Amino acid sequence: QVHLVESGGGLVQPGGSLRLSCAASGSFFSIYVMGWYRQAPGKQRELVASITSGGSTNYADSLKGRFTISRDNAENTVYLQMNSLNPEDTAVYYCNADVQIGPVDGKDYWGKGTLVTVSS
């Protein structure tokens, strides 16, 4: 069907940066919204940022401009540039896509996640 594969996670020092990527593959008509969510241990999954096919973005207020989401529609790929990272950003980051899979069908898909660890 549709697969989302994240990459770019890893260990980064406080104040550092990481760039996450998520590529969508499979059979579908289009992807309306792509986004990033994160889930820290013992916490609920929360929205980080999302972006529509037209480039409209939405961010969690708490990020205060530290993160930037972008997408390449031709490659069906979404990116998350994370700057000024702190230990509170440590979480598994999940890619999400609102996918139109048929003329009248749409479905929400999730990637398996990529771990981001912010530590000295």
User: By the 8 A CB rule, do 81 and 75 touch?
Assistant: no
pLDDT of 69: 97
pLDDT of 120: 92
Q: What is the dihedral of CA 32, 35, 39, 43, to 10 degrees?
A: -70
CA distance 84 to 11: 14
pLDDT of 64: 72
pLDDT of 84: 97
Mean pLDDT of successive 10-residue stretches along the chain, which has 120 residues? 95 98 94 96 96 95 92 93 97 96 89 97
